[in-house]
Amino acid sequence: MDLLPDSAPLATKLQNTLIQYHSIRDSEWRIAKRTKDATVWRKPSEEFSGYLYKAQGVVEDVTNRIVDHIRPGPYRLDWDSLMTSMDIVETFEENCCVMRYTTAGQLFNIIAPREFVDFSYTTSYEDGLLSCGISLDYGEVRPNFVRGFNHPCGWFCVPLKDHPHHSLLTGYIQTELRGMLPQSAVDTAMASTLTNFYSDLKKALKT
């Protein structure tokens, strides 16, 4: 498929899906990993045969600055240790674009480098922001990469009521890495990737 989708209905559908994930009861999640920076839970995905992951942690900064570091833009490549390249393919408006990015190999290259083409949308949510995305089947796959697919995913970032310069960052990620991979390797990598995401982000915000 080489046609880009109509951005407005896709953005609305994506936002509604993420808000639905955000309302899933705590009892449905099973803990996958806990570090000083974040806790990661998982539950079976309804989109594919893997898991939907939820990650949550408090980040010492204001919501706008945090989301500026997460969404497509100049900051992300500088601090995200997993991401190796990023290009904006199409910009629909300031808060809505299509990006192509690549990720490094993981687990001693059991998981080879991956490429993704994602639709990304950032919007207001309560007193903070939601930055969400979904992969598109768009363009040719680069040589030496496996094309992965992100089912609906996103990050909610809201200020803490009593500490407005601290934010609660909650992510929902369900990445289909594709290729011939043992599921246990994928599960190990996903939980570690998410906790590392928080520690890398916190270091970046302090600089």
- Phi and psi, residue 14, nearest 5°: -65, -45
Neighbour-count burial for 179-191, b at 16+ CB within 10 Å, e otherwise: eeeeeeebbbbbb
Find how far residue 80's CA is from the centre of its chain. Answer: 11
Say how far apart CA 162 and CA 202 lie, in whole Å: 20
Query: What Å distances lie between residue 68 and 43, 50, 98, CA to CA?
Result: 28, 29, 16
Total tally of structural domains belonging to the chain: 1
Ramachandran assignment for 205, one of left (phi > 0), alpha (psi -120 to 50 degrees), beta (any other): alpha
For residue 187, the domain's CATH number is 3.30.530.20
How far is residue 191's CA from residue 197's CA, in Å, rounded to a whole number?
10
pLDDT of the residue at 178: 86
Output the pLDDT for position 3. Answer: 65
For residue 30, is it within any domain? no
pTM attached to this predicted model? 0.93
d(CA 15, CA 103): 25
Q: Which one-letter amino acid corresponds to residue 91?
A: T
Question: Does residue 97 form part of some domain?
Answer: yes
- The tally of CA atoms less than 13 A away on the side-chain side of residue 157 is 25
Residue-wise pLDDT tens for the chain (207 aa)? 466 778 899 999 999 999 999 999 999 999 999 999 999 999 999 999 999 999 999 999 999 999 999 999 889 989 988 899 999 999 998 799 999 999 988 766 667 889 999 999 999 999 999 999 999 999 888 888 999 999 999 999 999 999 989 999 999 999 998 877 777 778 888 898 999 999 999 999 997
Q: What is the pLDDT of residue 122?
A: 96
Tens of pLDDT along 29-86?
Answer: 999 999 999 999 999 999 999 999 999 999 999 999 999 999 998 899 899 888 999 9
**The predicted structure's pLDDT at residue 184:** 78
Domain of residue 146 covers 36-205
Say what the pLDDT of residue 105 is: 83
Query: Quick check: is 201 in a domain?
Result: yes
**Domain membership flag for residue 12:** no
| pLDDT the model gives residue 1 | 47
